[in-house]
């Protein structure tokens, strides 16, 4: 398996372009199941999760063409309404096909999903919503079987503003004539981008002042063309990497307001920023960053996907910092690896207490999930000496051309496969 070899201690400098959002691309690609007409999606990042999603669409009966960040999805015969575990186990977002397939066939069979080992992340919110729409959900032999004689519009109040459940239920409701109302929904920019695409397909989705969504279902949707929104997690990760190395980096083609809490926290920690309409310039600074207390929360709060990279920055702070992970119950698996690199971190349940150190040192570490893996990359960039990171396939799930982009910023990072003994 591939590894990253990083020679740390170099300040990042230069300009980096933000890719299209992984977390918006996946549900938008899935939404093409709602029509047989061609859909063209631009700014789709070349990521492992995206490639898995395209394989899922092909398996289900779609014709897929993907080149230079543009995906053309069209009909290729009748659709299937079930997936094999071999595909689903690779990515939790594969469960999102349940909504479109249920809407089109009134039945769907999907294995319970896999993905990063950062918590239970149950699909019960999805299933209870589908039941409100008139479906029955039965779990047997590791599969969820959904079926309905007739789907009906409904009022659905989510017990938690789940991004996946919001998107899944939206897609299903688009093909149920009548008015469905979703309350306590996720308000992430990626959800807004999915809504924008669905409306381009002919859906009728509106939000009220409280963020509740009303879906006026249609009998069919048509093809559409769309460009995916910028990836706020990728752009935020590069901002944190620049801050951790005391670098001078312009993050371009991003949407700064989508990272407003992160930008406020960076500035409060002492990192100077210049913010424009579509870029953030992270400027160099002297000394060490100030310690902060941070708590993850649904958007517009601090993104849980940036918690791990933020922990790396706080590991270098001047004082005692604290992180409260309020979204997932098992998302500190990167902390012991940072400790191997010299960080002083103590975790207890959902709290991480960090005593900042002057510097980190290179070490042999292992990525256990996507964002935790990026935290180790940032640590390796900031550390003295050589860092070797195993299981970088986790990182490949969410960061397009990572080593190329970092190399262009002056980092010394190489991909190495010990089985083939080649870089």
Q: In this model, does residue 157 exceed pLDDT 60?
A: yes
Categorize the per-residue pLDDT at 147 as very low, low, confident or very high, splitting at 50, 70 and 90. very high
pLDDT at 116: 44
Place of tokens 């299933």: 127
Q: How many Å separate Cα 198 from the centre of its chain?
A: 20
3 vs 115, more confident: 3
225 vs 113, more confident: 225
pLDDT at 331: 86
Q: In this model, does residue 85 exceed pLDDT 90?
A: no
pLDDT at 117: 44
pLDDT at 115: 44
pLDDT at 155: 98
* Best CA proximity match to 314, nearest among 262, 364, 260: 262
pLDDT at 232: 98
Q: Are 1 and 390 in contact (CB under 8 A)?
A: yes
Tens of pLDDT, residues 392-408: 999 999 999 999 999 99
Q: In this model, does residue 389 exceed pLDDT 90?
A: yes
Give the mean pLDDT of 24-53: 97
Distance (Å, whole) CA 73 – CA 28? 11
Q: In this model, does residue 121 exceed pLDDT 80?
A: no
* Best CA proximity match to 211, nearest among 238, 237, 191: 191
Q: In this model, does residue 58 exceed pLDDT 60?
A: yes
Q: How many CA atoms lie within 13 A of 341 on its CB side?
A: 35
Give the mean pLDDT of 176-199: 98
pLDDT at 380: 98
Domains of the chain in start order, with CATH, are: 3-18+230-416 (3.65.10.10), 22-227 (3.65.10.10)
Categorize the per-residue pLDDT at 89 as very low, low, confident or very high, splitting at 50, 70 and 90. confident
Kindly state the percentage of the chain with pLDDT values over 90. 89
pLDDT at 423: 59
Using DSSP bridges, classify how beta strands 351-355 and 364-366 pair: parallel, antiparallel or unpaired.
Answer: unpaired
Distance (Å, whole) CA 153 – CA 112? 25
Categorize the per-residue pLDDT at 122 as very low, low, confident or very high, splitting at 50, 70 and 90. low
Distance (Å, whole) CA 305 – CA 118? 11
Residue 174 annotated as catalytic: no
Kindly state the percentage of the chain with pLDDT values over 70. 97
Q: In this model, does residue 269 exceed pLDDT 50?
A: yes
**Of 39, 116, 174, 317, which is the active-site residue?**
116
Q: Are 123 and 97 in contact (CB under 8 A)?
A: no
Q: In this model, does residue 91 exceed pLDDT 90?
A: no
pLDDT at 94: 86
Reduced 3-state DSSP string for the chain? CCEEEEECCCCCEEEEECCECHHHHHHHHHHHHHCCCCEEEECCCCCHHHHHHHHHHHHHCEEEEEECCEEEEEECCCCCCECCHHHHCCCHHHHHHHHHHHHHHCEEEEECCCCCCCCCCCCHHHHHHHHHCCCEEEEECCEEEEECCCCCCCEEECCCCCHHHHHHHHHHHCCCCEEEEEECCCCCHHHHHHHHHHHHCCCCEEECCCCCEEEEECCCCCCCEEECCECHHHHHHHHHHHHHCCCEEEEECCCHHHHHHHHHHHHHCCCCEEECCCEEEECCCCCCCCCCEEEECCCCCECHHHHHHHHHHHCCCCCEEEEECCCCCCCCCCHHHHHHCCCEEEEECCEEEEECCCCCECCEEECCCHHHHHHHHHHHHHCECEEEEECCHHHHCCCCCHHHHHHHCCCEEEEEECCCCEC
Tens of pLDDT, residues 205-240: 999 999 999 999 999 999 999 999 999 999 999 999
Q: How many Å separate Cα 421 from the centre of its chain?
A: 32
Categorize the per-residue pLDDT at 422 as very low, low, confident or very high, splitting at 50, 70 and 90. low
Q: Is the dihedral of CA 137, 140, 143, 145 positive or negative?
A: negative
Adjacent-strand bridge partners of 107: 147
pLDDT at 329: 73
pLDDT at 353: 98
Give the mean pLDDT of 304-333: 94
Of 50-64, 91-105, 343-357, which gets the smallest average pLDDT? 91-105
- Full-model pTM: 0.95
* Best CA proximity match to 285, nearest among 308, 299, 267: 267
User: What does the mean pLDDT of the chain come to?
Assistant: 95
Q: In this model, does residue 179 exceed pLDDT 60?
A: yes
Give the mean pLDDT of 237-248: 98
Give the mean pLDDT of 35-44: 98
């Amino acid at each position: 398996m591939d590894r990253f070899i990083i020679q740390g201690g170099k300040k990042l400098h230069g300009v980096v372009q933000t890719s299209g959002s992984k977390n918006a691309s996946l549900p938008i690609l899935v939404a093409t199941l709602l029509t047989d007409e061609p859909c063209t999606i631009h700014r789709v990042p070349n990521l492992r999760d995206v490639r898995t999603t395209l394989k899922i669409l092909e398996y289900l009966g779609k014709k897929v063409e993907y080149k230079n960040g543009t995906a053309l999805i069209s009909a290729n015969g009748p659709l299937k309404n079930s997936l094999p575990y071999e595909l689903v186990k690779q990515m939790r977002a594969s469960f999102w096909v349940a909504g479109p397939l249920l809407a089109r066939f009134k039945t769907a069979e999907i294995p319970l999903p896999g993905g990063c080992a950062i918590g239970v992340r149950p699909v019960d919110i999805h299933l209870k919503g589908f039941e409100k729409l008139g479906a029955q959900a039965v779990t047997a032999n590791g599969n969820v079987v959904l079926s309905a004689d007739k789907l009906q519009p409904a009022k659905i109040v989510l017990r938690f503003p789940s991004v996946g459940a919001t998107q899944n239920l939206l897609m299903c409701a688009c093909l149920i004539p009548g008015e469905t109302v979703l309350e306590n929904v996720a308000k992430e920019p990626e959800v807004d981008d999915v809504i924008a695409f669905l409306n381009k397909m002919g859906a009728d989705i509106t939000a009220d002042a409280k963020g509740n969504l009303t879906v006026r279902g249609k009998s069919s949707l048509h093809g559409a063309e769309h460009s995916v929104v910028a990836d706020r997690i990728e752009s935020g990760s590069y901002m944190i990497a620049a801050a951790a190395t005391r670098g001078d980096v312009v993050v371009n083609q991003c949407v700064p307001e989508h990272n407003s809490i992160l930008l406020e926290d960076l500035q409060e920690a002492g990192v100077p920023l210049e913010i424009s309409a579509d870029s953030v310039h992270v400027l160099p600074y002297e000394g060490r960053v100030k310690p902060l207390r941070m708590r993850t929360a649904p958007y517009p709060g601090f993104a849980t996907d940036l918690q791990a990279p933020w922990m790396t920055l706080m590991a270098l702070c001047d004082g005692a910092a604290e992180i409260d992970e309020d979204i997932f119950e098992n998302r500190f698996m990167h902390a012991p690896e940072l400790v191997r690199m010299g960080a002083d971190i103590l975790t207890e349940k959902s709290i991480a207490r960090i005593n900042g150190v002057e510097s980190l040192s290179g070490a042999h570490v292992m990525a256990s999930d996507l964002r935790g893996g990026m935290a180790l990359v940032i640590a390796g960039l900031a550390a003295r000496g050589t860092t070797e990171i195993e299981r970088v396939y986790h990182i490949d799930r969410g960061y397009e051309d990572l080593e190329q982009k970092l190399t262009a910023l002056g980092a010394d990072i190489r991909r190495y496969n010990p089985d083939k003994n080649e870089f």
